[in-house]
Every structure is written in structure tokens, then in C-alpha cells.
Amino acid sequence: MEDVLYHKKYGYYAQPLSRAIGRGGDFYTSVSVGSTFGFLLARAIHREWEAEFPGGAPPVIVEQGAHDGRLARDVMAGLREIAPDFADAAVYRILEPRPEVRRTLQESLASDPSADGIEIVGDVAAAGAPRGIFLCNELLDAFPFHCLFYQGGTWHERRVGLQENGEGFAWVIRPLPPSLRDFATALGHDFPEGYHTEVAPAVDSWVAESAALFPERGVWWIIDYGYPRSDYYAPSRRKGTLRCYDAHRAGEDPFASPGQQDITAHVDFTRVAEAAERAGLRMAGFTDQHHFLIEAARPWLLSIEGQAPDAATAKRLRQFHTLTHPSLMGRQFKVMELRRGK
């Protein structure tokens, strides 16, 4: 699975950054809805820094999974709109470990004046600061995962194998590798025959690394689709959360068009919180995008209340509706807040 997503030449995420996300791509994200997501995150960042990070240090914002840097640009534009001095002082670092993606991003940001204040760095050591704010949108759902399969009263791993005629891929059922045994044991046995689901241990090492970004004081906003563990591994969720996206069609066949479709699984947010606690962070909040963005938007909504919206405000309101309406993106996406320090 790692290869079909991340192979340097053939992997899905090796394709040009302009592909994949948005109207002409395979799927939408809150970022691709328009600049309103970044505008509201800018408001949340500004409020957070003013209230919780006293002491005059310049704000440091780190984003990972930044794709083409659009959210970075939108957040910086939002900060310039609401607090120009704060925006001038702010440093926005895109953390991108893959050198080839870093190069492409660098080229695209270098020629864009709206990318002022945005840096691209390759690791946590270069991205970090004593204090800062981290954010990621739909990063963790893109991590490679294992597939678990419940059969004959036992957990197995469902792996990628070859069809008998050797002409394509097929699922093969194998005994669980030692690294997944404790997790499967903890899930128990209250599952129907043929139940399958996913698990992403890569989340653990990522949280441990990310926690090192801000050794003194920090807040991490992890935005993604996912569930707490009890909901993720509910016996009724018989077919797990593996989904493939190709030209906005959702499918469940990861063997179709290898390298040409996105393959994702929902995030087990309990796993994120457990890893955070081991890394010395605390889980300070878990809500849905609807509540998180409405809170961030409150001063803006009050400022436009009772006025006939101009065209730009009307556009922003339409995007706000898409991002927050429970039947659109408001309920499906969750925001977990982790903190170090007060």
C-alpha cells in the first residue's frame, strides 16, 4: 500500500501537485472548497496566540500535509486581513519530508507574492520552535494502514497478494504479524464473521515526532475524518473505512488503477490521543468541524450581521455553509486539539 501511495515515480502522491484535489481532481478537501477555511483558521490562530501565548515571541505556525501550499497562503492572507502586524511577524513553516515534493513546492511558492512569510522545511528540527501552533488537514487519513479481518473467531491480517492466474492483485488472509497482536486482542471478539477494518500504527511515531516541534508550549490541531475507537471498531461497521477516490467517485477496490486513485482510511482519534499522552501532550479538545469553525467565525459573523453581504462576503458565506453544514463537511470532519503547557 505504501508503494501505490508513495512510490517516488508510480505512487499516487508522486503525481503533479495540481492533480488529485479539487473540482478537476479525485476528491475535495476543506481547503479546496475555497479560501474561507484558511480565513477561519487564521482567526483561530490569532485568537489562540493572543490569549494563550503571552510574551511577545513571533508566532510560529507549522503545517504538515500541505499539498500545494494553498492552505498556507489562505491562512497568511487571512492573518493579513484581520491582523496585519501579527501577519508580518508570523512565520508559517510547511513541514514536507519528501525532497522532491519540497522542490516542487519551493518553485511554486517562490513565484507567488502571496506566499510571503511561508517557509518550507524538511524535518521537525527545522520546523520547531519553543512555542508554536501546528495544524494539518487530512494528513493522517493518507497514512498507510493495515487491514484486519475477523474469521473463525480469530483476527487475521488481510494483505495484498496476487490472483491465482498471476494477472492482478487479490486479498490474501494471513496470520496477524506480532506488531498487531496486542491491538487485535484488545479489540476483543464481539465481531461478525468476515468483519474487516483498518489500523494505522504509523500514527504513533508521527505523533511522537510531531510532539517534539514545540518543547515549551504548543497547540496541535489535527483535522480529519475519523472516529473515537469505540465508534471506529463498532461491530456494526462490518466493512471498515477503507475508501478509494478517483475523479470524485468513491470505491472500495484498492486494486483498481494502482497509483491512480487515492486510498484512505478514517483516523482512529483515540489512537492519536493515546500517542499524544505518551509523548507528553494532553488532549484538550475533540469536536467536529461544524463547532470548531463556528467558534472561530463568531466575531466575523457578528461583524457582518444585519448587513446586506457584498459579493465577496456572499461567496465566503457560501463556503462557510459547505464547511460547517452537518450534512456537508461539518459533521464528518473532526478536530482534535492537543496541547503542551497550560
Which spans of this chain sit near ligand SAM (rule: CB under 6 A)? 13, 21, 29, 31-32, 64-67, 96-97, 137-139, 142
Provide the minimum distance between the beta carbon of 296 and ligand SAM in the complex, in angstroms, as a whole number: 17
CB count in 10 Å sphere of residue 305:
7
Dihedral sign from CA coordinates of 156, 334, 221, 228 = negative
Provide the minimum distance between the beta carbon of 322 and ligand SAM in the complex, in angstroms, as a whole number: 14
Measured from the CB atom, is 138 or 246 closer to ligand SAM?
Answer: 138
3-state secondary structure of 129: coil
Measured distance between the N- and C-terminal CA atoms of the chain, rounded to whole angstroms: 39
Pairing of strands 196-199, 154-162: unpaired
Q: Look up residue 295 and give its three cell numbers.
A: 467558534
Q: Look up residue 247 and give its three cell numbers.
A: 475523479
Measured from the CB atom, is 47 or 102 closer to ligand SAM?
Answer: 102
Provide the minimum distance between the beta carbon of 33 and ligand SAM in the complex, in angstroms, as a whole number: 9
Own/partner pairs, 11-16, CB within 8 angstroms, 24+ separation: 11/259, 12/259, 12/260, 12/261, 12/262, 12/263, 13/101, 13/142, 14/100, 14/259, 16/104
Dihedral sign from CA coordinates of 123, 127, 132, 133 = negative
Measured from the CB atom, is 35 or 64 closer to ligand SAM?
Answer: 64
Provide the minimum distance between the beta carbon of 245 and ligand SAM in the complex, in angstroms, as a whole number: 9
CB count in 10 Å sphere of residue 228:
16
Measured from the CB atom, is 25 or 240 closer to ligand SAM?
Answer: 25
Measured from the CB atom, is 184 or 276 closer to ligand SAM?
Answer: 276
Provide the minimum distance between the beta carbon of 267 and ligand SAM in the complex, in angstroms, as a whole number: 12
Provide the minimum distance between the beta carbon of 164 and ligand SAM in the complex, in angstroms, as a whole number: 34
Measured from the CB atom, is 41 or 297 closer to ligand SAM?
Answer: 41
| 65 and 221 Cβ atoms separated by less than 8 Å | no
